[in-house]
Structure 1
């Protein structure tokens, strides 16, 4: 599985691309400065024969393609860093400039487009990064009479399992028309959503366990960040579903009916992806409520401790306050006022008062214990 460019870097590239393209003519091709140099891969096959090769010279690839028109071909272009090469491919395979603009922009939503008898699809691959973010990358697909062309911005992808199937000759992929190959690419791309969402599910379970043990503000940030990432997957999945709906509603001349049944299977998969995403989004809401409930419970426990401590010292403070009042025992005429705290002059008054305060403390603790207020400590 590939390692896509980081989300923050991809976001910066998109913003820079938008700025560069503002006011340009339709079909203007702009390649970012850090775009990878194209690598050209060709897989040619029929029921009996198979050849796979990486070409450094596009003319050699084109010569082989034209010399073997009886075979089916998968031309895989990885990297956009050569405008001249892309323009040659556009001319040789009758690709409309607006379609190539969508290819190079690398942030188009999944969609289907028709240009004559050729079809143009966009799908998006997703990956769960080590920093617990979801990244996505675009794969553009063109179909012709006996070929399919894919464009990607990076060298690695999730399609190795499909290439292995073609090499081994398993199944019917080498016997079917190019529309079946387009289906197979979309099928593998969308099937890859499931292990990614499985990783997301495991991460959410870890977050839930951490919330039960020791809720922290960072965990709330993680929950909100993942909620935003899932919103991105939901947006992609809805566009994929709309694209597949358009494929299924297309006429038989665009996509044969015997191939549409396979696209129906992909449609079922993307509906499952949407169900999982919606379940995870609901779980995110539950985790947020769990965090707030745990924080509230911790605050209640703290307030309970402080309240008990205050309840213990309030009567003790009252007794100390009473005996801290400085009323004079002697009257102005020198006579003794026996009503002004006579116990202050008792030889055991201090000890007796401490004993009373201790009995008050013990009585309060016993009362709190009988009420069950101390059992949670």
Structure 2
């Protein structure tokens, strides 16, 4: 049970009888993220650094699952969770507070949760992770993903994902990003699963290394020869997309914000783009919305719990429309939000990363009649 229902359903106009219950299916590892912010510089060997801020939140694939759920999409996650306190905290956060369907997830006895420590400074982050691959499930046969409008996959160098082909055969639209290639090979053959994908969303460095180019826009054009839609995020330069299926291109500038913690911003971008894609928005609107959600997320710390909901988007847009004429000219790209967002935003602060997983939210006082009042 979630703390609050979604403010709006972005797919309301396209839902029909017989549609899959699940909008988006994901699978992957869930980490406990411990985030340090307010560092003046990178840690120096042999010294002790003090951070002015700290938080904990579910991480890994939980970043994208939470971002999708907060945008009103029915999200199902298949993941392994340790049976330690970290695993319990992540499971509770995702299922009870975010409303993510964990029916296909499992708790693994005797396996500890993977952990990532993320240190944010100078607009960037450095991460240290520890964990072991979860033991395989008792069922030897591969499980088909559930019927879903879309699946999101993270491609890994040197490994194929057989479930992608099965999902695509069942009619799911496949959106993929890619992880960092620790081998340094950046072999284009490692992107073989793109044959099953509708869209590929790497960052500029990843795109250029896989295509052997020195221009992110050229990299996007080359990737569009392998996948119908290639979207390359370019950091402070914005994002660029090539839709080879429709013969379209689009580019949007990045929003200038004061970044506190960039952890999970790429996942939030993908979630925003998937939302707009399933809703049938024009390509440029999808890019702009994805860039906006990512920009809002970096202003809070915590990868998953910093993901914005519709009220954060609505509050930003109401504020943005008060800018002077010069600034409003740059924001005209977001005029499509006027017809989309709820007319009035009620106060609803999202849960943010907390200093320690030991803290519990104080339950509300019972309302008359013994039931819990609104939170």
TM-score (normalised: structure 1): 0.27
Larger Rg belongs to: 1
Of structures 1 and 2, the one with the larger relative CO (CA 8 A, separation 6+) is 2
Structure with the largest fraction of helix: 1
Structure with the largest fraction of strand: 2
